[in-house]
Chains A and B, each alone.
Chain A
Amino acid sequence: MAPLLEVRNLQTHFHTQDGIVKAVDGVSFAVKRGETLGIVGESGCGKSVTSLSMMRLIPCPPGELAGGQILFDGADLLELSEERMRHIRGNRIAMIFQDPMTSLNPVLTVGRQITEALELHLQLGRKAALARATELLHMVGIPSPSKRLESYPHQFSGGMRQRVMIAMAISCNPELLIADEPTTALDVTIQAQILELINQLRDELQTAVIIITHDLGVVAGMTDRVTVMYAGRVVEAGSTTEIFANPRMPYTIGLLRSIPRLDEQEHRKLTPIRGLPPNLIDLPAICPFSPRCDYVQHACLHQNPPLRDVATNHQAACLFDITIDTPIPERPPEGLLV
């Protein structure tokens, strides 16, 4: 089956006073119907810019979709007119934004915000749209939905607002749902409710889901495949089970070693990743993770390693065959300052 969405070599740049920020620098991935893909990374790795690029929501200028293709059901979204894109956005591709506090319009009732998309995309009449909106709020588990349609966003709690966002996102039965940190602002018990809801929708409607998150626990529980991003690039990709069992990029290995696990029986000292992510302006042509990498070699400073196959269905951007069992060398190789 051909993937529903295929991103090929996407380049999203921002022109700033200090130079060009290559926020997304040659990112590729694909997602099929009924499948959940996780995009993992820390602040500034380009994961949110990737999702906004897919929706063509990057403000230009200062942003620029500088290259690549975003093939959705065969058509390149980057080639579409704004008019055509508007028919897809919110209709066939929908997005759940990170912050439920700022993503809803405070001066419109929740009902109005949900029915807007229904009237626009599905050409429903006022009454039919309201009926469907009620049904949607019921689906996402908001009590007394027809009454709540008349409420304003401030009258909802954070978890309830996130549900409203989900109701809006699924209102037109999208084929692709992009969830950008959908539960970061929420408490864990509410997070469990929301993730359960997204899973149900995927199973019932065969929606393709992309979850963007920094939380490796959420990725482990929700996704079929994972793409790890660092400094605007994909540094590791593969099936979720494979990546967690056999991570091959030192950055992914570092992330897994640095988080405490609830189920560990004994106190294990965490192994942090030292240093900070790089500045994305004028990145030199070296491995962007090399200044923080425990396994750095001279060769890492000669090129930015390309993504290569390290196992079936598993790619990593590392020149060496490092695994989670590779002992950390006591000192860096001769002549390398770390």
Chain B
Amino acid sequence: MGMTPPYLIEVKDLTMHFPVTRGVILQRRVGTVKAVDGVSFQIKAGETLGLVGESGCGKSTTGRAILQLYRPSAGEVRFEGVDLTRIHGEQLRRMRRQVQMIFQDPYASLNPRMTIGDTIGEPIRVHRLRVGKGAVRERVEELLGLVGLNPAYANRYPHEFSGGQRQRIGIARALAVEPKFVVCDEPVSALDVSIQAQVVNLLEELQDKLGLTYLFIAHDLSVVKHISDRVAVMYLGKIVELATGVKLYSMPIHPYSQALLSAVPIPDPKVEQQRRRIILEGDVPSPFNPPDGCHFHTRCPIALEQCKQEAPPFLDYGDGHSAACWRANESGSLMPEVAKQ
């Protein structure tokens, strides 16, 4: 008997490079987009890890590469100790039952020609979790009830539902195969504020009830901090900081995390009047040609010569609060000065 590994998910040096080609018939490779460039983290069973960052930072690609929707260029993705990047065919298909995904766009991720009962029932049939029409039907109705929809809706089509309801259907489909790990890729971004809370609460309740483990990917820091135990901040294909939500908010280390957090508006005018924003200059550089050294040095207000030359190591600064910055020990006092100017 082997020992139970301490983590449900272990990602090590995950790298996802996409080739950029030119020419129609004679395709030449002219470069690489380094969408994910050496990302490592672990997630415990029952934990939620949040992954935040701005458009194009590689957060969605990380989620997809973990589920093997893209086969990673390098690195390991261990699920219960098994490296998913090394298994294929039937073995991988069986593993896929354990790892599922909830997609961002509830309008595009459901087949408009299938009733929602068929949509949710399909994975049950494919993986033979229930045999016989009646048994599948029963399970579908149970799942609809689980996500707070009327089981009698099974015969309806996606267009008959609102955005929030569709997202519940997407959640029911992901849960149909009884997964242990779920990647939630921007699951509430397309929803109205009052509906977002309904879906966030549902995800939390399901986690408690079914013991699920989540990777929660979103660009809205307030939502990510709310739902996650720990939060990882990504910038240009790399994780720059990882800490518990409260720690990350109260004492961020990386200058990028500090700028990102200071930019998030807080719905309270009294708090807003007191806050100083760190306004970053310019846009995120292209991942096709990321800057040398620390990827953030082109926009970093406290960058040194060293930052342009060498990429900083990702180090633990106590209690699992890790960051990749050459000035990690002084950034906490330097950045507020920048904001005052």
Instruction: Enumerate chain A interface residues (CB-CB to B < 8 A).
Output: 42-43, 143, 157-160, 187-193, 196, 214-221, 240-241, 244-245, 254-256, 258-265, 267, 269-274, 276-277
Distance, CA A187 to CA B271, complexed state (A): 21
Residues of B within 8 A of A269 (CB): 201, 204
Residues of B within 8 A of A261 (CB): 222, 266-268
Known: A220-B272, A262-B225. A188 touches B194 (CB 8 A): no
Contact between B225 and A189, CB atoms less than 8 A apart: no
Distance, CA A220 to CA B204, complexed state (A): 28
Residues of B234-281 contacting chain A, CB below 8 A: 246, 249, 259-272, 275, 277, 279-280
Residues of A within 8 A of B259 (CB): 189
Known: A159-B283, A220-B265, A261-B268. A270 touches B226 (CB 8 A): yes
Contact between A188 and B263, CB atoms less than 8 A apart: yes
Contact between A259 and B54, CB atoms less than 8 A apart: no
Interface flag for B25 (CB, 8 Å): no
Contact between A221 and B265, CB atoms less than 8 A apart: yes
Contact between B55 and A187, CB atoms less than 8 A apart: yes
Contact between A189 and B223, CB atoms less than 8 A apart: no
Known: A42-B193, A188-B260, A193-B280. A262 touches B221 (CB 8 A): yes
Distance, CA A234 to CA B113, complexed state (A): 39
Chain B, residue nearest A218 (CB): B265
A-B residue pairs, 7 tightest by C-beta: A217-B265, A260-B226, A272-B197, A258-B197, A187-B54, A216-B267, A192-B263
Central interface residue in A193, A216, A269, A272, by most chain B CB within 10 Å = A272
Residues of A within 8 A of B267 (CB): 216-217, 219-220, 244, 256, 259, 261
Contact between B268 and A244, CB atoms less than 8 A apart: yes
Distance, CA A218 to CA B283, complexed state (A): 21
Residues of B within 8 A of A265 (CB): 246
Chain A nearest CB: distance from B156 CB in Å?
Answer: 16
Interface flag for B198 (CB, 8 Å): yes
Number of B residues near A (Cβ < 8 Å) is 43
Residues of A within 8 A of B263 (CB): 188-189, 191-192
Chain B, residue nearest A141 (CB): B281
Contact between A273 and B194, CB atoms less than 8 A apart: yes
Chain B nearest CB: distance from A23 CB in Å?
Answer: 16
Known: A188-B264, A221-B269. A262 touches B280 (CB 8 A): no
Contact between B283 and A272, CB atoms less than 8 A apart: no
Residues of B within 8 A of A241 (CB): 269-270
Known: A260-B225, A267-B226, A272-B198. A216 touches B272 (CB 8 A): no
Residues of A within 8 A of B329 (CB): none
Tally of contacts, chain A with chain B, CB under 8 A: 127
Chain B interface SS verdict (over half): helix
Residues of A within 8 A of B196 (CB): 258-259, 272
Contact between B164 and A276, CB atoms less than 8 A apart: yes
Residues of B within 8 A of A270 (CB): 197, 200-201, 226
Distance, CA A43 to CA B279, complexed state (A): 29
Q: B272 contacts which of A189, A221, A259 (Cβ < 8 Å)?
A: A221
Known: A159-B283, A262-B261, A270-B200. A220 touches B193 (CB 8 A): no
Interface flag for B219 (CB, 8 Å): yes
Known: A159-B283, A217-B264. A273 touches B54 (CB 8 A): no
Residues of B within 8 A of A271 (CB): 197
Chain B, residue nearest A240 (CB): B269
Chain A nearest CB: distance from B106 CB in Å?
Answer: 13
Contact between B266 and A217, CB atoms less than 8 A apart: yes
Distance, CA A196 to CA B259, complexed state (A): 14
The 22 sampled A-B contact pairs (Cβ below 8 Å) are A157-B283, A159-B283, A187-B219, A188-B54, A188-B219, A189-B54, A217-B264, A217-B266, A217-B267, A220-B268, A245-B269, A254-B194, A255-B193, A259-B196, A259-B267, A260-B226, A261-B267, A262-B225, A263-B268, A270-B200, A273-B194, A273-B197
Known: A263-B266, A272-B195, A272-B197. A188 touches B283 (CB 8 A): no
Central interface residue in B259, B262, B277, by most chain A CB within 10 Å = B277
Contact between B265 and A260, CB atoms less than 8 A apart: no
Interface flag for B192 (CB, 8 Å): yes
Residues of B within 8 A of A221 (CB): 265-266, 269, 272, 275
Q: A188 contacts which of B221, B225, B275, B282 (Cβ < 8 Å)?
A: B221
Chain A nearest CB: distance from B281 CB in Å?
Answer: 8
Contact between A259 and B280, CB atoms less than 8 A apart: no
